[in-house]
Amino acid sequence: MPERGPGAPRGGHPGEPRFIVDTMLGDLARWLRLLGYDTYYSSRLDDWEILRRAEREGRIIVTMDRGLASRARRRGLRVVRIASFGAAERLAELALHVPVRLEADPSRSRCPECGGPLRPVRDKEKLRGRVPPAALEAYSVFYVCERCGRVYWEGSHWANIRRVLREAREMLARAQRGG
């Protein structure tokens, strides 16, 4: 499925922040997509392409790179420099600067790999051969990426996703209290 605009993924929710994440934070890009945010990420982007895309597409730059953050600020672009490690810490740190939902909602999620919108599929027969038989038997709703065709479902890994997000919310609350 073609992208709308110059490199912009289709979809997103009006008024919500859109991100471009540098190559050092691919894990954070996947988390943002999981949370439903329009997040551009490529392991092949150089700093100047990140700056150009952020400017052209109105994206917030998320980076660990001081030099990139400095160049972005000089150009008047929104940028969040992440200093922490670990998924929960990074999510909490980002949420201190940009209002992001730290709640898992599969109906809002985007494909963690390509960022495409997901659509729910309840007709399991359409997915036979693309999903392990045990998953077809155990789950009733699946999500298919409209761009790359990958199939997702709320498997046992969602307990870990919810745990990381709970930790991120707790860290954010402590940081907001100043502790």
Question: In this predicted model, what pLDDT tens digit does every residue of 113-168 receive, in sequence order?
Answer: 999 999 999 888 899 999 999 999 999 899 999 999 999 998 888 889 999 999 99
**Could you tell me if residue 113 is inside a domain?**
no
Q: Is residue 13 part of a domain?
A: no
94, 173: one domain = yes
Q: Let me know whether 142 and 96 are in one domain.
A: no
8 confidence band (pLDDT: 50, 70, 90):
very low
Does 56 map to a domain? yes
Q: Are residues 87 and 168 in the same domain?
A: yes
Q: How many domains is the chain partitioned into structurally?
A: 2
Owning domain of residue 142: 118-153
List C-alpha distances in Å: 130 to 61, 117, 126, 127, 142.
35, 18, 9, 5, 11
Which 8-state DSSP code applies to residue 26? H
Tell me, yes or no, whether 54 lies in a domain. yes
pLDDT given for residue 178 in this prediction: 84
> Are 56 and 141 in a shared domain?
no
Q: Is pLDDT larger for residue 124 or for residue 25?
A: 25
Buried residues in 108-119 as b, exposed as e (16+ CB within 10 A):
bbbbbebbbbbe
28 close to 90: Cβ distance less than 8 angstroms: yes
**What's the distance, Cα to Cα, between the start and end of the chain in Å?**
46
Supply the pLDDT for residue 7.
Answer: 37
- What does the pLDDT read at residue 9? 39
Q: pLDDT averaged over the chain?
A: 89
On whether both 42 and 75 belong to a single domain, the answer is yes
